[in-house]
Structure 1
């Protein structure tokens, strides 16, 4: 039986992971004034891969991977790291960090939609209401900054951010279906390494290193935070939390991510609080809670549940 102390520790690990991921939007936004998205990602992936490699060596963990699972890691690395981070970093060129934090919380709705299509999960009235609420919240967030109609307000940044939430939903489903029998830290290391390798040629072609000399100490601190704490520690702690907490328990902490983004955006970027944007974000989370609540009931009561 799991002790209360272990549950408290796991909850702390999950809270720290979500906080790091939420603040990552702010750190990315803070550096994009000096670096293009590809140069930023090369540095972030390089720092993250180096940190994770050192961590694995200190823990004396094996870095060997069976040949059978190399294609799986490549697919996960391209979708979950390379494509996902490029979409988010490019989106942050034109949208606020706090808006990105609200929109990323929409990802579980895409996960449910894909599950209904490919896993034949049933649509219920509460779930449909939850999806519609979340979509309405997204519309509020994307139109809150300038008061324009959706046609004009939905700029490329919002489109890319919404695509990144869909991409993360695809990655989440693939991660569960592929079931790579390796420690999460090893998988994270190889995905970060792959992200570094894939973005490095773009850096060489664009000569992105030219602008690195203009980075301030604060901007380098943001890059170190992104590489070490976001790409490394956050994934490690998330894995440790899942060793104790059930998936449904851990998913509750995801609702803290936009809150962490909002607080960091106000403190570090001096972004203004827009009431409609916050209202839209809250509506998104309420819709996601309803959808996820219904999904848990389906999973618990479905025909695949083990009967005693």
Structure 2
């Protein structure tokens, strides 16, 4: 009974993380009307690092880390925080938040491909079939907009978002291989701090502070959400879920991320519902589930799951 409650709580943590990450595309899109991508990221990482530092102090976690892990954290910070977020923020300049949410769910397919080459995992017929299905879904999403005058910029945005899924897959495989033996809260803090450090020179170059006085209260609220809940709480809760559930069990919650993005984009950004885009997104998720062979696992670890599965 106690074990079931612990797993249920872990599932809730994972679900909350995915919800925050799904909404993050909407918040980023809302702020990009005023700030360039680098200024947005500096503020986001700065708020996130400060929040995580307060948590570390309250929990009395040591901030000192072994020297051998510094190169690991720098590489992971560059890939998983700096490069990843810059690519996504730039992509959102030209594509809808809901489309970004659908495409990001394609990331596990790249993870499987890289795992075959670098982690020596086997490629099966089911995985290959799932990849083909997911690719068809991506093509549907990226071609759902028929506004020819914006075709070039939209295509660039889609390509950047697909590139971000490949980058995240590389980061995920690398993180698995490095095996950093540090508390997840400490790792998250230093990665956020690295992101803040790397993006600050771009803010100085672009004089990003000049646009800050023009931000509305709503836009500052989006920034606080991105810093505290997306860069801080979401990563922390994701780690708490991983302490109880296996990584494969937690990863199935990624399939729900585009749903959170779509609902929030419709409510806050008044984005139009494009049936072909939604169909493509559903096909992506089906393909990814086939690639990972996680349909029953997905249903079993939902907080409202059927206990008979």
Separation in 2, partners of 1:195, 1:126: 38
Whether 1:81 and 2:81 are equivalent positions in the alignment is: yes
Whether 1:54 and 2:54 are equivalent positions in the alignment is: yes
Q: What does residue range 84-163 of structure 1 map to in structure 2 within 5 Å?
A: 84-146=84-146, 155-163=155-163
Shift of 1:34: 0.2
Separation in 2, partners of 1:260, 1:145: 21
Q: What does residue range 235-250 of structure 1 map to in structure 2 within 5 Å?
A: 235-250=235-250
Whether 1:45 and 2:45 are equivalent positions in the alignment is: yes
Shift of 1:152: 5.5
Shift of 1:121: 2.4
Shift of 1:5: 1.3
Separation in 2, partners of 1:122, 1:226: 37
Whether 1:32 and 2:29 are equivalent positions in the alignment is: no
Where does structure 1 lack aligned partners over 5 or more consecutive residues? 298-308
Q: Which moved more, 1:162-171 or 1:239-248?
A: 239-248
Q: Quick check: 1:99–1:141 contact (8 Å CA) kept in 2? A: yes
Shift of 1:4: 1.4
Q: Deviations over 1:107-157 (max 9, x none)?
A: 000000111122232222111110000011000000002276xx8586111
Q: Quick check: 1:101–1:258 contact (8 Å CA) kept in 2? A: yes
Shift in alpha-carbon separation, 1:154–1:132, aligned structure 2, 3 A: farther
Shift in alpha-carbon separation, 1:153–1:31, aligned structure 2, 3 A: closer
Separation in 2, partners of 1:251, 1:83: 22
Q: Deviations over 1:226-268 (max 9, x none)?
A: 0000000000111111111111221121111000000000000
**What value does the CA root-mean-square deviation take over the aligned residues?**
1.8
Separation in 1, partners of 2:158, 2:95: 7
Q: What does residue range 281-292 of structure 1 map to in structure 2 within 5 Å?
A: 281-292=281-292
Q: What does residue range 13-32 of structure 1 map to in structure 2 within 5 Å?
A: 13-32=13-32
Shift in alpha-carbon separation, 1:147–1:279, aligned structure 2, 3 A: farther
Runs of 4+ in 1 over 4 A off after TM superposition: 151-154
Separation in 2, partners of 1:175, 1:197: 21
Q: Quick check: 2:109–2:131 contact (8 Å CA) kept in 1? A: yes
Shift of 1:191: 0.4
Aligned equivalent of 2:217: 217
Q: What does residue range 154-233 of structure 1 map to in structure 2 within 5 Å?
A: 155-233=155-233
Shift in alpha-carbon separation, 1:94–1:154, aligned structure 2, 3 A: closer
Q: Deviations over 1:79-108 (max 9, x none)?
A: 000000000000000000000000000000
Q: Quick check: 1:2–1:244 contact (8 Å CA) kept in 2? A: no
Separation in 1, partners of 2:152, 2:35: 27
Q: Quick check: 1:146–1:153 contact (8 Å CA) kept in 2? A: no
Separation in 2, partners of 1:28, 1:202: 18
Q: Deviations over 1:266-292 (max 9, x none)?
A: 000000110000000000000000000
Shift of 1:2: 5.7
Shift in alpha-carbon separation, 1:45–1:286, aligned structure 2, 3 A: same
Separation in 1, partners of 2:10, 2:122: 32
Aligned equivalent of 1:66: 66
Separation in 1, partners of 2:78, 2:152: 31
Pairs aligned (count): 295
Aligned equivalent of 2:303: none
Q: Which moved more, 1:251-260 or 1:81-90?
A: 251-260
